[in-house]
Amino acid sequence: MNRQVEVALCNRPWLASMALCTGFTQSKTEFSLEIVGRVRAAYHRALADNPPELPNDLWRGIAASYHGDLAALLLSDDLEALDGYLRDLPKQSAAQGFFQGRAFYDQCVSDPEALSDHARLSADALAGLAELVGALNVRNPQQGEWTALPFPDTTEMQRAAEAKIGHSLSIPDVFNGCLFVGDRVHSRVCNAASAVFGAARLKPASIAEIGAGLGFTALYTRQRGIQHTLYDLPLMCAVQGYFLLHALGDVRLYGEGDDSPTTRILPWHRYGEEVPTDLTLNVDSFPEINRAVVETYLRKTKGWLYSVNQEAQAWITGETRQLVVREIVGKDPLWRTPNWTRRGYVDEVFWID
């Protein structure tokens, strides 16, 4: 049992006896020349406009170690191979750091204990989301029966949370190999739903998200009718484009026109230049980004900043530690609370003039 599961069971011991319905997703999408063509073309445009040298931070190291295969496919003319790689993204090295990755998938397939551990963590995230939205009572160790099983399985807990949120938590059938519990729920889905649930309390009409991972948050902003612009590295924009074009359809990629759809994906260096926004969202990336880049983002940020990040200050290099958001913002948040779906993370709200 890994350390994360041990901590989860200390806080929610009933997870140990919860019946887990688990599996791996199977894609139901068909090859679309239009989608992979648009993804590749937008990647080339973003790459041409990208600053020549990425800053020295955690993501530069991840890109150098894990993103080479996908980057090569995005530069090639083999669109069927590119589609196949992206369809199997949860099993590929390029997903390292934001959506499983090859080592994660291989471990789950070969080691039943590892599979159980990772599934238990997704169940823990789902339980946290259910507690956040009031679909599940928070247990109290000072009271009796605190280890009693609150729901017979993850699917029923999922349905209770969905009834409160008003939308599905099931992963769209885009990818092969994504580990799930219940009815296709992954921990990253719960993290994203929690972030959007919190940000929506501020009633923004538009959100700019810096470092959006796979783009799960866009599924839930779409449900709420919030205009959402995702800003990220060119390769990450490509995987977000592939996923969201299949999952949502009406998405604009970089260089595809001046209209204002509900969801748009732009390269990171265009933040603050094109689309006005009511709220800036950052989930699990500011601490890992080069300090000068984060400071540039903050200089361009006006209004609400909603941050969901950790504060462990782990080493990035032998001389540089990860950042703490409130320290680099330079003020205390207006609101701060531990994150319900991911242990060791904190939700903070800032107002930036």
End-to-end CA distance of the chain: 46
The yes-or-no verdict on residue 56 having pLDDT over 80 is no
The pLDDT-based confidence of 309 (bands split at 50, 70, 90) is very high
348 within some domain = yes
Contacts of 319 (CB under 8 A, 6+ apart): none
22 within some domain = no
CATH of the domain at 257: 3.40.50.150
Return the pLDDT at 150. 72
How many structural domains does the chain have? 1
**pLDDT tens-place string over residues 133-181:** 999 988 888 887 777 767 778 999 999 999 999 999 999 999 999 999 9
Reported as half-sphere exposure (CB side, CA atoms, 13 A), residue 147 has a value of: 6
**pLDDT tens-place string over residues 210-237:** 999 999 999 999 999 999 999 999 999 9
Q: Return the ∠ at Cα 92 (arms to 91 and 93), rounded to 5°.
A: 130
CA torsion sign, 85 to 86 to 88 to 92?
positive
**pLDDT tens-place string over residues 239-272:** 999 999 999 999 999 999 767 678 999 999 999 8
Q: What is the pTM of this model?
A: 0.94
**pLDDT tens-place string over residues 32-55:** 999 999 999 999 999 998 876 666
| Token representation of residue 14 | 């009933």
For residues 118 and 15, what is the distance between their CA atoms, to the nearest angstrom? 12
Nearest to 229, CA basis, from 189, 278, 191, 194: 278
DSSP 263: E
The lowest-confidence range among 11-20, 47-56, 113-122, 264-273 is 47-56
20 within some domain = no
Backbone angles phi, psi at 271, to 5 degrees: -60, 135
Return the pLDDT at 337. 97
Return the pLDDT at 51. 77
Q: What share of the chain is helix, strand, coil (3-state, %, to 5)?
A: 45, 15, 40
Domain span holding position 35: 1-13+27-353
| Token representation of residue 255 | 């260089």
The pLDDT-based confidence of 192 (bands split at 50, 70, 90) is very high
The lowest-confidence range among 103-107, 249-253, 285-289, 314-318 is 314-318
